[in-house]
Structure 1
Amino acid sequence: MSDREGGPTGLRQRTRRAVQAEIAATAMRLFLEHGFEATTMEQIAGEIGISRRSLFRYFGTKEDIVLGDHAESGRVLRAALEARPADESPWEALRAALRTLVEGLPYSPQEFLRITGMLHASASLRARRLEKQQQWTELLVPDIAGRMDTGDAAGDPLTQVRARALVACALTCSDVALEAWAGSDGAVGLEQAFDEAVAAVRA
């Protein structure tokens, strides 16, 4: 066994990621063609040419296929947030970081619109997405706490409360904006909807 990138362990990891990417791409196509609820794990496995049992080695549920990289998206979002200027306000930094995340998605605007519509149309996807998105809050709070106060105040429990509340509001505003954008079939601008949601919260 070796943990070098070119060794056996690294090769297995790359192979596993490649198979996961193929499964996700195939499943997403089927979901968009036939609907998330109507598509079964058996159909996905058959389309790829593997057994249902093999499919479950990579993804435990259909929801995980759609949202499996949500944790990675959280890390991308944290990196984008931490890259913002230190003197930028929390709201401005979060808005810019969220925009960076969306712009970096491997989908065309129309594909992302359809995927967003599917996410909001499925109760099981919405519930699973909210569960995974809780992880984002934990990743983002430290940076926002540091922006809210100076000195040692970022370690103050009440600063943590304020930072957590602000991050939660920003992510909720993002969800509301995405739902409005998808519900209007793109007629409502995504950034405009986010700004309106934030303005309502801050009023």
Structure 2
Amino acid sequence: MTDAPGLLERNRRAARAEVARVGVSLFLEQGFDATTMDDVAATAGVSRRTLFRYFGSKEEVVLGHLGGLGADLAAAVRAQSADVDVWDALVVAFASVLPSALAEDEGAARALASLVDSTPALRAAHAEKHRGWVDALTPAVAERLTGSPDPHLTARAVTGTVLACLDAATHEWLCSDAAPRRDVHSLTLAALAAVRGAR
């Protein structure tokens, strides 16, 4: 009996992920604004009540998987040695946490990123998710800034800069057709190198 709650939770997460997959496919096919939550529920084969138990809005159907990543990113920063540079610690944290949370293949990832980039409501929701990441990461980063006169401010600025570089890299990844196409991680590293080298 002790395993039952874990099994139920795993089943719930799997069902939620499947509903989200169906919803994103529908948004890509019909358009985000043209698709209703009722459409998502009907296509996914769940009741409206069940759908709203999983997701409070269409934006959450698309981006709900990002909500808990702030805590995972903070844990990944704290797991690293204290002598690791704070910028490098953030890069390692993002590289270790994000890939498993994103779409499984590049085509699906690009389609999802393009949907978010082209939909104002999703762009706003995505920015709010990133703000949550900054809120979660700032204390973990501040712990590494023992020599800073204002570690909290510095941590928030550094974390926000890394996320801005990630956004810039994602935009470049979506817009560039140059071959060979670089992945988001390498583009983020290039953006960070440019920012850290700026004078």
Q: TM-score range by the shorter chain?
A: 0.7 to 0.9
Identity of aligned residues (%): 37
Q: Which amino acid aligns with 2:106?
A: P
Cα separation, 2, equivalents of 1:185 and 1:26: 28
- The residue type paired with residue 4 of structure 2 is G
Equivalences, count: 194
Compare 55-64 and 37-46 and name the one that shifted more: 37-46
1:6 is the counterpart of 2:4: yes
TM-score normalised by length of structure 1: 0.82
Report the equivalent of 1:176: 168
Where does 1:10-159 land on structure 2 (aligned, <5 Å)? 13-105=9-101, 106-150=103-147, 158-159=150-151
TM-score relative to the length of structure 2: 0.84
TM-superposed CA distance for 1:63, in Å, is 0.3
Measure, in 2, the Cα distance between the counterparts of 1:64 and 1:91.
Answer: 30
Deviations 1:111-170 (A, max 9, x none): 1122111111111111011112211112211222222235xx6xx5x1211111111111
- How much has 1:23 moved relative to structure 2? 0.9
Distance 2:99 2:7 in 1: 30
Q: Is the 8 A contact 1:113 1:185 kept in 2?
A: no
In structure 1, the gaps of 5 or more residues are none
How far does the alpha carbon of each residue in 1:20-65 deviate from its partner, in whole angstroms, 9 at most, with x for none?
1221121122223333333321221111223334322221111011
Give the gaps of 5 or more residues in structure 2. none
| Equivalent residues of 1:114, 1:182 under 8 A apart | no
CA distance in 2, matches of 1:24, 1:175: 23
TM-superposed CA distance for 1:14, in Å, is 4.3
- Please tell me the residue identity of whatever aligns with 1:19: A
Pair 1:57–1:103, CA change in 2 (3 A): closer
